[in-house]
Amino acid sequence: MAENTENQESAPRPEFRMQKMFIKDLSFENPNAPEVYITPAKSEPKVELNLNLNHKSVDGDHYEVTLQVYAKVSTKDDDKALFILEIEHSGIFLVKNIPEEHLEMVLGVDCPTLLFPFTRQIVSQVTVDGGFSPFLMEPVNFMALFQNAKAKKEAGN
């Protein structure tokens, strides 16, 4: 039993943490200002939202994980754009001594789960600064997205 404890103590401990986050790209377009502020809205706006996740190795222990958000909010009646927002928000994560079989989940679930609340806050603040009500993205279940993508991948093979 003591031999088993020694093996556990000598194995390198997994390390995982966000070391830095930053905005790679940010665009906010308000193509129909100032008219959109003067004309009262007749109905709730139409929202088109796309969220993508990318990651790449920076070196052996660090990964860059990027959330890409595209949001277009327009009027339902005449499809006139109220605003268009695009952001690439990234984090550098230390991912050291994580078993290979867990790495994909760490990068696809844990990293974006830590990054998303900050991305959401930036998007909200930019829309307020653009003269609109805060645009609050719904929380995202990255575990469910990861599992669905994995199931589709396995079904395709």
| pLDDT on residue 1 | 47
Cβ neighbours of residue 131 closer than 8 Å, sequence gap 6 or more:
30, 33, 37
Beta bridge partners of 20: 92
Tens-digit pLDDT profile for residues 18-68: 999 999 999 999 999 999 888 777 778 999 999 999 999 999 899 999 999
How far apart (Å, rounded) are the C-alpha atoms in residues 89 and 67? Answer: 5
Beta bridge partners of 15: 96
Contact 54, 24 (CB under 8 A): no
Q: pLDDT at residue 150 above 90?
A: no
Q: pLDDT at residue 4 above 70?
A: no
Q: What homologous superfamily is domain 11-156 in, according to CATH?
A: SecB-like (3.10.420.10)
| pLDDT on residue 7 | 53
How far apart (Å, rounded) are the C-alpha atoms in residues 88 and 74? Answer: 21
Every domain of the chain and the residues it spans: 11-156
Beta bridge partners of 65: 55, 91
The tokens for 70 are: 């595209």
* 77 vs 68, residue with greater confidence: 68
Residue type, 35: E
Angle formed at CA 63 by CA 59 and CA 68, multiple of 5 degrees:
140
